[in-house]
Amino acid sequence: VQLVESGGGVVQPGRSLRLSCVSSGFTFSSFGMHWVRQAPGKGLEWVAFIWYDGSKKNYADSVKGRFTVSRDNSKNTLYLQMNSLRAEDTAVYYCARDPPGAQGARHSYNFDYWGQGILVTVSS
Amino acid sequence: DIQMTQSPSSLSASVGDRVTITCRASQSISSSLNWFQQKPGKAPKLLIYAASSLQSGVPSRFSGSGSGTDFTLTINSLQPEDFATYYCQQSFSIPITFGQGTRLEIK
């Protein structure tokens, strides 16, 4: 299993950025996927979750209405479109796989594999 | 939202020690509790899921227990590679929330 993020960098407040996470080593279309972020020197913050087929999405209140998670199962790729960026969005962003849950549950809201992370810096 | 509170925030221990980290949820989360280890500059690594199940490949010196609101992560016979930051995380409901982390340092 490998997850590789890209698309990070320095962006001005109010601008947009799109992160990508390319997966390999597993059947991407069978797993829900998450974005989790970590501000410099801080703890982990869950950002967004998308079902295996893209039919349902959930967001943290801190990004709701500004960020959009999506996926292209034909390309084994997860995306995070980030609009109206703020200084407080500065963080390392990780994509992570959601393993199946107990008793046949499709999702578990857990993270069993993570990408290496990509830094997003929002600064003028 | 479910608040997760870890204690202590930091801990000093020696190689060979046994350490315990506690995580408390603001409401019952059954056994929907996971533990992660993170080393500087690296992604978190899943250690324990469903409160007490050891993730594949994780050494058996790591163990988890608890249910409801109170959980513990125990590391027996600390090894040099275990010095890191540990996070608990509830997988009971959205929004998913993490504890603030416990930094385990070498004494």
Select from B31, B42, B85, B96 the residue whose CB has the most chain A CBs within 10 Å, as the one to mutate to test that interface: B96
Distance CA B107, CA B94 (A): 38
Task: Give which of B17, B3, B42 is closest to B104, Cα–Cα.
Answer: B17
SS3 B107: coil
DSSP string, A33-78: EEEEEE-TTS-EEEEEEE-TTSS-EEE-TTTTTTEEEEEETTTTEE
What is the reported pLDDT for A102? 80
Q: Which residues from A are below 8 Å from B when comparing CB atoms?
A: 34, 43-46, 49, 58, 60-61, 94, 99, 102, 108-112, 114-117
Residue A67 pLDDT class (50, 70, 90 cuts): very high
Burial of B68 (0-12, 13-18, 19+ CB in 10 A): middle
Q: Check whether A105 has a pLDDT greater than 90.
A: no
Predicted local confidence at residue A92, as pLDDT:
98
| Interface-testing mutation among A111, A112, A116, A119, with chain B (most B C-beta atoms within 10 A) | A111
In the predicted model, is pLDDT for residue A104 greater than 90?
no
Cα nearest neighbour of A117 on chain B: B43
Q: How confident is the model at residue A49 (pLDDT cuts 50, 70, 90)?
A: very high
Q: Contact B91/A108, CB-based, under 8 Å?
A: yes
Read off the pLDDT of each residue in A22-43 and give the average, rounded to a whole number: 97
Band of residue B81 on the pLDDT scale cut at 50, 70, 90: very high
